[in-house]
């Protein structure tokens, strides 16, 4: 389930970046970059200690 979520998030991020660059629109491109950052944080294995 986690792997499927990662793949869907990566695909959506790439589509958002592509549409933002092709149409010269900054908000979709920034959202795509944000999705990639979320994906990287989701993949990190660091646990937060209280």
pLDDT in tens, 1-50: 788 988 999 999 999 999 999 999 999 999 999 999 999 988 887 666 66
User: Pick from 45, 29, 38, 43: which is nearest to 9 by CA?
Assistant: 38
* pLDDT number for residue 16: 94
* Cβ-defined contacts of 30-37 (< 8 Å, 24+): 35/9, 35/10, 36/10
* pLDDT number for residue 50: 67
* pLDDT number for residue 27: 92
* pLDDT number for residue 5: 86
The rounded distance, in Å, linking the Cα atoms of 9 and 12 is 5
């Amino acid at each position: 389930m986690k792997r499927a979520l990662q793949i869907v998030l990566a695909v959506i991020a790439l589509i958002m970046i592509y549409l933002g660059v092709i149409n010269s629109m900054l908000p979709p491109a920034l959202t795509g970059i944000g999705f990639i950052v979320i994906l990287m944080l989701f993949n990190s294995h660091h646990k937060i200690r209280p």
